[in-house]
Amino acid sequence: MNRIHNFSAGPGVLPIDVLNSTKNAVVDFNNLGMSVMEMSHRSKEIVEVFDVAKSNCLKLMNLDKNDYTVLFLGGGASLQFAMVPYNFLKNESDYINTGEWSRKAIKESKFIGETNVIASSEDSNYNFIPKDYNVNSNSDYLHYTSNNTIFGTRFFEIPDSKNIPLICDMSSDIFSRKLDFSKFDLIYAGAQKNMGPAGATLVVIKNSYLETANETGLSMLLYKTHSKADSMYNTPPVLPVYVIGETLKWIENIGGLEEIENLNNKKSNLLYNAIDSKVGFYKGSVIDKIDRSIMNITWNLPTEELEEKFMKEATKSNLSGLKGHRSIGGIRASIYNACPMESVEALVEFMENFYSNNK
């Protein structure tokens, strides 16, 4: 099979090895004569799939199972925008607004209680990461989005939450680099960029913080409902969790987060150099280099017509998914963990040729 160079922002590219093991499991799981999709989620085999995915997740994050709980939930990262304040907002909440997804999280929090936007780059169409903010000492948590999928920015440093619980939406850069995950009280991420297909959301919660979550309310929206039932309060997204487990094994096998970070830095540097070397033709959309995402690379060309032409010709060259999000336009290349170096090299070669023919 001829794999396309896939730069889709999400659902995004997955490792071919993972697709192949999934293909087998979809038809005949572990030689059991049935598909992984045809089995009870309470069977010992599927419980084991969940247990292995959870323990691999904690291993990659260097966290202890006595300190953190791993959940796999439905509803996408968007449901977490609501569940976080529903469970933890008692006095007030602090948010850093760095893009469309932060804004959506803030909207849900405002619906539930007092919500402070302590820093924002909205006025400049989110082309930087705010560095100055004062966290309110009375807040139940500080929430931020580690990587802004649409705008191509990321937090290089974990924000200092000044002893307020720290919550992060890592949907578009989870497992892309080494981090001190013990700084977080709650991390969530939709699977469909760096882990698997859409349908499962990973939630990792510090146990001491989980204890403070609301006890009563709508059952499906309480973290405690899901933690008490080991993510099996209702029928969970079994196939996506299977794929997540396979992807985490793949990360481990290629050398863990250290090696993944190394590869991601190489890929993103190659692409940013290609943009920066053509001053006046390609223009990166993020102001400060330190804020540049290593997952979603965004840039513009001198005119919208040239951008259209760029995308049309790119498609013909087997380069797919490069159209920028409708809210900022331009070009966006999403180079998630599973995007091979060869795809980035093919894109850079195309960019060189396009520049020579159109400058």
Binding footprint of ligand PMP on the chain (CB under 6 A): 10, 76-78, 101, 145, 149, 169, 171-172, 190
Burial 173-198 (b: 16+ CB within 10 A, else e): bbbbbbbebeebbbbbbbbbbbbbbe
Question: 46 or 189: whose CB is closer to ligand PMP?
Answer: 189
Q: Minimum CB separation from ligand PMP for residue 76, in Å?
A: 3
User: Has 193 been annotated as catalytic?
Assistant: yes
Strand-pair partners of 117: 95
Q: Minimum CB separation from ligand PMP for residue 169, in Å?
A: 5
Q: Minimum CB separation from ligand PMP for residue 145, in Å?
A: 5
Question: 21 or 172: whose CB is closer to ligand PMP?
Answer: 172
- Using CA atoms, how far residue 114 sits from 98, 108, 208, 260, in Å, is 19, 11, 23, 39
Q: Please, are residues 215 and 193 in contact by the beta-carbon 8 Å criterion? A: no
Coil, helix or strand at residue 238: helix
User: Nearest 10 degrees: CA dihedral of 174, 179, 182, 188?
Assistant: -10
Q: Please, are residues 354 and 28 in contact by the beta-carbon 8 Å criterion? A: no
Question: 71 or 301: whose CB is closer to ligand PMP?
Answer: 71
* Cβ atoms within 10 Å of 76's Cβ, excluding its own: 17
- The one catalytic residue in 169, 173, 185, 291 is 169
Residue nearest to ligand PMP (CB): 76
- Using CA atoms, how far residue 184 sits from 86, 169, 207, in Å, is 18, 11, 11
Q: Minimum CB separation from ligand PMP for residue 332, in Å?
A: 12
Question: 140 or 169: whose CB is closer to ligand PMP?
Answer: 169
Q: Minimum CB separation from ligand PMP for residue 292, in Å?
A: 16
Q: How far is CA 257 from the centre of its chain?
A: 15
User: Nearest 10 degrees: CA dihedral of 82, 83, 89, 94?
Assistant: -60
Q: Minimum CB separation from ligand PMP for residue 285, in Å?
A: 16
Question: 122 or 345: whose CB is closer to ligand PMP?
Answer: 122
Tokens representing 188 are 């969530």
- The one catalytic residue in 193, 206, 267, 323 is 193
Question: 97 or 149: whose CB is closer to ligand PMP?
Answer: 149
- The one catalytic residue in 54, 101, 250, 278 is 101
Give the full edge-to-edge strand order of the sheet including 186-190: 68-73, 201-206, 186-190, 166-169, 142-145, 92-97, 114-120
Apex 102 CA angle, 99 and 104, nearest 5: 110
Q: Please, are residues 261 and 176 in contact by the beta-carbon 8 Å criterion? A: yes
Q: Minimum CB separation from ligand PMP for residue 94, in Å?
A: 18
Closest CA to 153 of 175, 131, 134: 131
31: which residues sit within 8 A by CB, 6+ positions away?
none
Question: 148 or 300: whose CB is closer to ligand PMP?
Answer: 148
Q: Known catalytic residues? A: 101, 169, 193
